[in-house]
Amino acid sequence: MSPGETDAIFLVDQASLRATHGLDESTFDDVRFVGAALSPRVPELIEDFYVWLRGFSDFARFFADPRMLQRVKAQQNDYWTDFLAADVDDAYVERRRVIGRTHARIELGLLIYLLAMEFVSAWLRRAIEADERLRAKATAALSIRKLIAFDSAIVVDTYGALTAQNLDDHRERLHHVASVMRAVTEGDLDHHIALAGPGDILGLSLNDLVDSLRGVAKGMETIAGGDYSAQPTPRSEKDRLGKSLLAMTDALRDAAERNERQMWIAETETALGQAMSGNPTMRELAQRVLSLLCRALNAQVGAQYVAEDGGATLRLAGTYATTSGLRERWRLGEGLIGQIALEKRRIIVTDIPEDGLSIHWGLGEAPPRHLVIFPLLHEGETRGVIELGALTPFCGWRLEFLDFVSVGVGQAIGAAEARARIAQLLEEARAQGEELTAQQEELRQVNDTLEEHTRALELQQENLLVTESALRQKAEELERTSRYKSEFLANMSHELRTPLNSSLILAKLLVDNRDGNLAPEQIKYAQSIYSAGNDLLVLINDILDLSKIEAGKIELDIEPTAVAALVADLERRFEPLAAERRLQFSVVVEPGAPETIETDRQRLLQILSNLLANAVKFTERGGVRLAVRREDSRRLAFIVEDTGIGIADDQQEAIFQVFRQANGAINRKFGGTGLGLSISREFADLLGGVLTVRSEPGRGSAFTLQLPLRADGAPIRLEPVIRREEPPTPAESAQTPIADDRDALADSRRIALIVEDDPAFAEILRDLARELGFKCIVAGAAGDALRLARHFRPEAVVLDIGLPDQSGLTVLELLKRDPSIRHAPIHVVSVHDYQKVALEMGAVGYILKPAKREQLVSAFRLLEERITRDKKSILIVEDESVQRAALNDLLSSAGVEIVAVATAEDAMREIGDRRFDCVVLDLMLPGVSGFEFLERISRDEARTAPPVIVYTARSLSMDEEQKLRRLSKSIIVKGARSPERLIEETTLFLHQAESTLSPEQQHMLEIARSRDNILDGRRLLLVEDDVRNIFSLTAVLEREGVAVQIARNGREALERIDVDPAIDLVLMDLMMPEMDGLTAMRAIRAREAKAALPIIALTAKAMPDDREQCLAAGANDYISKPIDVEKLLSLIRVWMPK
């Protein structure tokens, strides 16, 4: 807004103003009149005014500048001169307005103007009154006053208007200034204020202030940035901020430098500490220390020497940035290094001549200009010396730090030396320890081996003892049996002799033909009877003797016997016999032979008779000789020699054994029982003597009987009491109490073996069997049954379980294991319920007693059916013709019909047409695959699928095997031994009993059995890799209505659990491949959603801490293998969520 436009608010024009103030030309004339006189005195007026004005307080404010006063005085001079001219027009008014504006602008109070006008008015009035001439003009003073009032009105008006305007401007500006100030106060120094004009002091000041603050701020920022180089200049003496800033900068700079040094020292100390830590070797230590010091002290080369030989020499331990050529050793006192070591004080060398060591870098080299060499001290001793070289002087205060280094590194060297010594000792100790450990381990292994051998020997000994005792037992048993046999024979012989005696007597009577009424022919017959009877008697006597001896029943009758009489007796008996065979016979009692011998005469005679009889019998030509010779003081020998056929060496012992002779043919040729020599030897034995033989085939034999001159009176063996110690063995004792058809078996067809210990029921069964056209054999005990079965090979068996000696189940198992009878169907009839076991073992049926007749009839019918179905049939499914033929050959045997087809389609047709006992299936088939075939026949509701043996050359994956196991009975992989296994398995299936229940019946039974529905429809995950357990547990659980899923290891279990959220319970085995049960349980528990899933662990482990482990891993409960099914089911019921 330019001034002037609105600077007259009240005045409309000067004319109306003039009128208001009562001004007219006369007024002006008056003023001009006065003016004419007083204008020259205007300067006087001004001076007077200023004299007056000095009394006012604002004076100094306005007129500090003398030029200003001068200028104002001139203006005032002009003003009053103009006033006194009283040329009042617009220009005059305008000039007054300028005054008003100026006052307003410089904010000169209006009061001072008005006082000034008043002063002038008073001054002029006084001047008028002092002048006669002027005084005369009466209106002059009034006119002056009027015009002054007019002037004042204009000035006041303009001033007022402008001041109002100014006030507004000021307010606004102040506002602006205030806002900038506020910003400054808040720290915002970005704003300058626009200057109102060159005289805008406020604006200038403010901007100055901002600039100044900015300067300070910038300075502070620089300092804050760590730059203390800027030296802030204070703006004036009074610039406290500036001065403070300067002081602060200085203080900070000092502090920073101190800090930096301390920091450097601290860092370098730390770095040194680190460099020396970690048990470095001497060389490592030197390298690290040098590297650190060179960097810290701005040195370029360095070397460290270490004191050796108790400080006498210094050896180079490490260098920094040097090339080769450094001296390795210094003696103490030698060179600077040696000197410093001696003095233990630091030295600094500057301005070094250029012919020493150089500092090398990539682009060149130069000798170091400055050196510092200082000792490394430890406990007052020099442990080494460090030398550093630099191109620039070393920093003074940093060198002070070397004192610290000196001691620190000295200590480190001491430590390193100690460590090296310890390490060496340790190494020695370790090596010795290792050696010891190795020796110990070796010793332990040797010990273990020894222990194994020792234990093996012990075990052998233990086993030997067991075997020995078993053998002894066996021997005792044998002996006992043998004794029973002998007793039996002894008894029998008596029984035989009695009737034989009478026949001999009667035969003799007939031979004698006392009445003479027999024809010669008849007499001859009677002689034959007599002779044969005699032979028989001899035999019986021999047997009797022998059995008596063996039974220990021989009684000896020891008495003095005259030798001469004895031999004479023998000579009498055998002379004629020898003569008859044209043999020489001689008896010689050699000189020195005693006259008598104390022995059992009868037995002695028997022995010698036997020997002589044999000699005569086996000698064709030559002679037989009996010699008696004294052997020594206590023994007498009887020698029977012949020139007969002799006996081969290997037969010489055999002839003494019961029922054996050198040659069976000889026995037949020469007659005799073959018992004689055995008996003779037994008698010799009894008499305390020995019977031996020397012989050469074709040259003759010599039997020598040596007897003691005086036989012991006591019988050699104790007389046993005849008694039955042993319970009768079943086979012998279980006399069939009821009659059967064993003696009337025309052929072995349709023979039924009835094993039943209750005679009444056995009879019922027998009658029923006979009724149905069976021949019957009845056994009352297991032993009998087995014996009879093996002997008669029955076609069918009816078996009781409760037998007196062994369980019928044993009979069942043994029969099923015997290839010769395993095919015979076995039907069990028993009070005991072993139905499941028996059927599994191969029984065709099972009836519980008491049984109705109809049941028994149907049992026999079932057996009948099985027998008539005697053609067993095998279906072979194999596409390869050579293989097919080979299988056909392999499996074909009597009673087996084989159908061989090439495709699964043909096989299904065959199975549809007829029944097979077994199917042998190749998996790789054209068209429908083996898998598919299995699936189909197992799905077939109409008939039970025959057992299938998968016979494949293909290797199977785990999954395939799992699947096949479900569908087939057995899987055989082709190989060298597979035919053998194939035969075994097919045989098993051909004769294996099937369950008598139809599938529907089985199903109904299963439903009836599954009594509780808590398990019905529940989902259970069985994690187990043992195939047997999988199948048995699945079967049990499925019977209860549980849907069982299988996982074969922990990993699979987790997959299943993640996929199927509906699993109610988990059975978890522990020992599994890939992921074990404990890990799996932990993983399950780690899943938040499965925290409550019941898990029962199955484990073979039995220890309490195993159980702990299971529970700790997250199992709810635990069951030990082998698994008790009932226990498991109740556990499952307990844990199954309701």
Give the C-alpha separation, 866 to 881, whole Å: 32
Identify the residue among 17, 337, 859, 964 touching another protein (CB under 8 A): 964
Identify the residue among 328, 521, 632, 1105 touching another protein (CB under 8 A): 1105
Identify the residue among 142, 266, 470, 475 touching another protein (CB under 8 A): 470
Q: How far is the CB of 290 from another protein (least distance, A)?
A: 36
Contact predicate 767/796, CB 8 Å = no
x/- site string to another protein, residues 974 to 1013, per CB under 8 A? xxxxx-xx--x-----------------------------
Number of H helices, E strands in the chain: 36, 30
Identify the residue among 727, 1104, 1126, 1138 touching another protein (CB under 8 A): 1104
Contact predicate 388/289, CB 8 Å = no
795 binds another protein (CB under 8 A): no
1035 binds another protein (CB under 8 A): no
Q: How far is the CB of 284 from another protein (least distance, A)?
A: 26
Give the C-alpha separation, 320 to 297, whole Å: 13
Identify the residue among 917, 1025, 1040, 1052 touching another protein (CB under 8 A): 1025
- Answer left, alpha or beta for residue 650, where phi above 0 means left and psi between -120 and 50 means alpha: alpha
Nearer to another protein, 713 or 1122 (CB): 1122
60 binds another protein (CB under 8 A): no
Q: Residue 893: name the closest of 990, 977, 1014 by CA.
A: 990
Identify the residue among 233, 270, 460, 1013 touching another protein (CB under 8 A): 460
Nearer to another protein, 334 or 961 (CB): 961
Identify the residue among 1027, 1035, 1089, 1112 touching another protein (CB under 8 A): 1027
509 binds another protein (CB under 8 A): no
Q: How far is the CB of 1124 from another protein (least distance, A)?
A: 12
Q: How far is the CB of 968 from another protein (least distance, A)?
A: 11
Nearer to another protein, 188 or 984 (CB): 984
- Of 501-509, 519-527, 881-889, 955-963, which part binds another protein (CB under 8 A)? 955-963
819 binds another protein (CB under 8 A): no
Q: Residue 601: name the closest of 559, 572, 573 by CA.
A: 559
Q: Find all residues with CB under 8 Å of 625, minimum gap 6, and list them.
A: 584, 585, 586, 587, 588, 639, 640, 641, 642
Give the C-alpha separation, 834 to 1022, whole Å: 29
Nearer to another protein, 111 or 438 (CB): 438
Quote the tokens at residue 253.
Answer: 């700079």
Going by DSSP bridges, is the β-strand pair 359-361/364-366 parallel, antiparallel, or unpaired? Answer: antiparallel
Identify the residue among 455, 669, 869, 1003 touching another protein (CB under 8 A): 455
Three-state SS string across 361-421, please? Answer: ECCEEECCCEEEEEEEEECCEEEEEEEEEECCCCCHHHHHHHHHHHHHHHHHHHHHHHHHH
Q: What is the DSSP letter of 1060?
A: -
Give, in order, the Cα–Cα distances in Å from 568 to each of 323, 574, 583, 1135.
134, 10, 18, 103
1125 binds another protein (CB under 8 A): no
699 binds another protein (CB under 8 A): no
813 binds another protein (CB under 8 A): no
H-only helix segments in 308-350: 335-343
451 binds another protein (CB under 8 A): yes
Nearer to another protein, 935 or 1026 (CB): 1026
1079 binds another protein (CB under 8 A): no
Identify the residue among 231, 454, 820, 998 touching another protein (CB under 8 A): 454
Q: Residue 999: name the closest of 946, 948, 915, 943 by CA.
A: 943
Give the C-alpha separation, 923 to 948, whole Å: 11
Q: How far is the CB of 1025 from another protein (least distance, A)?
A: 7
Nearer to another protein, 360 or 822 (CB): 822
Q: Residue 952: name the closest of 890, 879, 873 by CA.
A: 879
- Of 211-219, 618-626, 871-879, 1024-1032, which part binds another protein (CB under 8 A)? 1024-1032
Burial of 1079 (0-12, 13-18, 19+ CB in 10 A): middle
Nearer to another protein, 174 or 1027 (CB): 1027
Nearer to another protein, 214 or 981 (CB): 981
Give the C-alpha separation, 219 to 695, whole Å: 144
Q: What is the DSSP letter of 848?
A: E
Q: How many residues bind another protein (CB under 8 A)?
A: 59
Q: How far is the CB of 1100 from another protein (least distance, A)?
A: 4
Which single residue is written with the structure tokens 């400055």? 370
Nearer to another protein, 313 or 1099 (CB): 1099
How would DSSP label each residue in 652-676? TTGGGSTT--S-HHHHHHH---S-H
Contact predicate 686/716, CB 8 Å = yes
Angle at the Cα of 338 from the Cα atoms of 337 and 341, rounded to 5 degrees: 90
If you count them, how many residues does the chain have?
1138
463 binds another protein (CB under 8 A): yes
Q: How far is the CB of 460 from another protein (least distance, A)?
A: 6
- Of 235-243, 703-711, 794-802, 1116-1124, which part binds another protein (CB under 8 A)? 1116-1124
For another protein, the binding residues (CB under 8 A) are 444-445, 447-449, 451-452, 454-460, 462-463, 466-467, 470, 817, 952, 955-956, 958, 960-961, 964, 971-978, 980-981, 984, 1025-1029, 1069, 1071-1073, 1076, 1099-1106, 1120-1122
